[in-house]
């Protein structure tokens, strides 16, 4: 089924992103997987190519394009190339919007030009060792002392955690309150008391630096607070819909790529004198996956259109996230099975995709939380 989501300019942008991946990412990604991190100079190259801060206003050096479809193109291109290391999506679509929507004019002038050039890498720190989804009861806290907040606590599973120069930290500025006690503070590289722990050893996404972060009496200037004190939880809830949509977009792209690799393999691989795709069981499995991916793509594209029109609800974003990542899990697992023994070999892209896909149902809020959110929206 032909997709109608994109205009010619989006396809031109896709070609540029693919060329960037072929030249600067794909040839080196396996080494980055072994290193557990992407080199910082890749961010500078991405900034020079115009791939960072595309929706940041031109007055701060950004692209000035308020069209989420460009982010969709970026996510799809990197996912289909099986290059999960560069954390550009977290930088562009998850962290930067907090500064764009809630930051002060001084903060935008101070940080945005470096963010766009790739000189300042962004991360956002919500999850703690004691819990992930229960944000209202986080333990990281900051007390006000004059023109500073004194920040203490720990965060974990933080994407871009090693490379990050600016970390948006969710913390309690009023421990006596739950939701209304949360604020967002930007911790900068080099602040005394800010330490990075391990670059975590994950099942997949090995080139993506995911770290523990520690804060011991870090003095954060009040001017580094995003928005109003005590409004942090509200800001998080407003922006999580976009994060979940990004995850859904990537999940569909990963499922689609896995199916394409598998169709090709099922034509090439022969058993008992014929292509394995011509056995009825395998043909049925391929047909089922093709149908589900086609249906899923229509829904995700509709969610992107709604988001572009500022009409995507939190419940719809939750639906997209849990259903797309669950579909990705089922499709990639079935595709690996159809590859047989070769599917278990990391030299085949399906094996790496299988390792990487298990993050989807967990990240951005577990799929169980997504279903609970949808149920609450229904009045239960």
Other beta carbons within 10 angstroms of residue 216's beta carbon come to: 13
- So what's the pLDDT on residue 135? 76
Report yes or no: 18 and 144 within 8 Å, Cβ to Cβ.
no
Mean of all residue pLDDT scores within the chain: 96
pLDDT tens-digit series, residues 234-267: 999 999 999 999 999 999 999 999 999 999 999 9
CATH of 123-230, one of 3.40.50.300, 3.40.1360.10, 3.20.20.70, 2.40.110.10: 2.40.110.10
Domain boundaries, the chain: 8-120, 123-230, 234-377
pLDDT tens-digit series, residues 202-220: 999 999 999 999 999 999 9
Tokens of 23: 């030249």
Active site residue 243: yes
328 to each of 68, 99, 142, 293, how far by Cα in Å? Answer: 22, 31, 39, 9
Question: Looking at the predicted structure, is the pLDDT value of residue 309 above 70?
Answer: yes
pLDDT tens-digit series, residues 86-129: 999 999 999 999 999 999 999 999 999 999 999 999 999 999 99
Q: Which CATH architecture has domain 8-120?
A: Orthogonal Bundle (1.10)
- Cβ-in-10-Å burial (0-12, 13-18, 19+) of 299 comes to middle
pLDDT tens-digit series, residues 134-154: 777 799 999 999 999 999 999
DSSP 164-181: -SEEEEEEES-TT-SGGG
- So what's the pLDDT on residue 1? 82
From 33, 76, 229, 243, the catalytic residue: 243
pTM above 0.85, yes or no: yes
- Residue linked to tokens 């990542």: 325
pLDDT tens-digit series, residues 80-90: 999 999 999 99
Give the pairing type, strands 225-226 and 182-188.
antiparallel
pLDDT tens-digit series, residues 42-59: 999 999 999 999 999 999
- So what's the pLDDT on residue 29? 97
Task: Report helix, strand and coil shares of the chain as percent, to nearest 5.
Answer: 55, 15, 30
| Centroid of chain to Cα 328 | 15
- So what's the pLDDT on residue 132? 66
CA distance 287 to 299: 19
- So what's the pLDDT on residue 192? 97
- So what's the pLDDT on residue 179? 86
- So what's the pLDDT on residue 275? 95
CATH of 234-377, one of 3.40.50.1980, 1.10.1760.20, 1.10.540.10, 1.20.140.10: 1.20.140.10
């Amino acid at each position: 089924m032909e997709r109608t989501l994109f205009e010619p300019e989006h396809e031109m942008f896709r070609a540029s992103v693919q060329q960037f991946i072929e030249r600067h990412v794909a040839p080196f990604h396996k080494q980055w997987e072994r290193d557990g991190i992407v080199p910082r100079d890749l961010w500078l190259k991405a900034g020079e190519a115009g791939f960072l801060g595309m929706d940041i206003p031109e007055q701060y050096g950004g692209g000035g394009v308020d069209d989420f479809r460009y982010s969709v193109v970026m996510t799809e291109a990197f996912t289909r190339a099986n290059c999960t290391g560069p954390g550009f999506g977290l930088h562009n679509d998850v962290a930067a919007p907090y500064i764009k929507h809630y930051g002060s004019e001084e903060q935008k002038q101070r940080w945005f030009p470096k963010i766009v050039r790739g000189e300042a890498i962004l991360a956002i720190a919500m999850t703690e060792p004691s819990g992930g989804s229960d944000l209202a009861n986080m333990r990281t806290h900051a007390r006000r002392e004059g023109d500073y907040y004194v920040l203490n606590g720990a965060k974990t599973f933080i994407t871009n955690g090693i490379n990050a120069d600016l970390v948006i930290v969710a913390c309690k500025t009023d421990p006596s309150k739950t939701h209304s006690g949360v604020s967002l503070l930007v911790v900068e590289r080099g602040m005394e008391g800010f330490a990075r722990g391990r670059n975590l050893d994950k099942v997949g996404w090995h080139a993506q630096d995911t770290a523990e972060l520690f804060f011991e009496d870090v003095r954060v200037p009040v001017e580094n607070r995003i928005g109003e004190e005590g409004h942090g939880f509200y800001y998080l809830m407003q922006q999580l819909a976009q994060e979940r949509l990004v995850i859904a977009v990537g999940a569909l792209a990963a499922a689609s790529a896995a199916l394409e690799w598998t169709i090709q393999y099922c034509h090439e691989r022969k058993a008992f004198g014929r292509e394995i795709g011509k056995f009825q069981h395998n043909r049925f499995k391929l047909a089922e996956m093709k149908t589900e991916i086609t249906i899923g793509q229509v829904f995700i594209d509709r969610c992107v259109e709604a988001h572009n029109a500022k009409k995507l609800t939190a419940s719809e974003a939750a639906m997209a996230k849990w259903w797309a990542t669950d579909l990705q899990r089922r499709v990639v697992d079935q595709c690996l099975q159809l590859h047989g023994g070769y599917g278990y070999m990391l030299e085949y892209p399906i094996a790496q995709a299988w390792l990487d896909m298990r993050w989807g149902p967990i990240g951005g809020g577990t799929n169980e939380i997504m279903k609970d959110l949808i149920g609450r929206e229904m009045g239960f």
